[in-house]
Amino acid sequence: YYRWFEFSQWPQKYTGWIGVQSMPEFVECPEHEEYFLGPEGVSNYWLKRTGMDGWRTDVTPWMSEEFWRRFRRSVRAANPEAYLIAEEWTDASHYFVGDTFDATMNYRFAWALRGFFALDVLTVAEFEDRLANWLRDTPAPFQLSQTNLIDSHDTARALTMCGGDKRRFKQMIAFMMAYVGAPMICYGDEVGLEGDFAESARQSFRWEDGDTELQDYYRRILRFRKDSAPMRYGGVETLLVDERQRGYAFARHFGDEVVYGVFNASDSPAVVEITVESGVWSDALGLIEDVTAQAGRLKIALDARGAALLFKA
């Protein structure tokens, strides 16, 4: 294995990721590639042995894009439907060509939601600008496959970032589930796991004393998302950027169906108004009564830090 690593002094000193010797960096060479990408290599072995659905690669930029192209070809030869996710914390557009990954961990999305809902450090316009920049940088097919997240094993827990305020946390959950992309739930969020980065955010799952009310909230949204074509396949259109009330709204369209996401990110109740089709609209979150559009306008009364996901009743 000597050729797999870069030694400065054999055998004790070698290059590690950001200097961490317990995580040595690989040097790309034929033997290394055969071990990971060969017909009986690591990538295919686990796909065939376990029937798993794909791979998420760690610190992806530390390997060359040519390596990841060969990785994709090897994995897809074993399973043409395998889902390949890259860890990338900044602009990931160089992976959106179709020859490496299907998605990346969408930390740009996470930072926007944290800044707007959890920390109140972004104005509504700045929040919209963050989302618009991500959409601009990401081709439409990859927008749908991106793994949208609000936290991970490498960050503080979202509920902790919200100061333990479940209203803010629920807004983040609803937005992540309703916006374009594939929601990624970090284990334990659904039972209210908290913790600062790093180790306290990686504590064990709370099997016995988890927050059952949060679990029910997750289940409700996930059931709705599973049955909603706009939530899974639709594009996204911003409808409202209201600085005065810290209101934000968007639409997800697919065919003749539409879902509206409406949010009040202020500490006061607010009436949010958007343009919709006529008829009666129901809230998938079950937090507000059915509302009827008048002359193509819909007024939604939201509690402080409230949200609604509206669909045609």
DSSP assignment of the chain, as one string?
-GGGS-EEETTTEE-EETTEEEEEPP---HHHHHHHHSTTSHHHHHHHHH---EEEESSGGGS-HHHHHHHHHHHHHH-TT-EEEE--SS--GGGTTSSS-SEEEEHHHHHHHIIIIIS--S-HHHHHHHHHHHHHHS-HHHHHH-EE-S--TTS--HHHHTTT-HHHHHHHHHHHHHSSSEE-PPTTGGGT----TTGGGGPPP-SSS--HHHHHHHHHHHHHHHH-HHHHH-EEEEEEEETTTTEEEEEEEETTEEEEEEEE-SSS-EEEEEE--SEEEEETTS-S--EEEBTTEEEEEE-TT-EEEEEE-
Catalytic residue among 53, 58, 237, 243: 58
Catalytic, 66? Answer no
Catalytic, 151? Answer no
Catalytic residue ranges: 58, 87
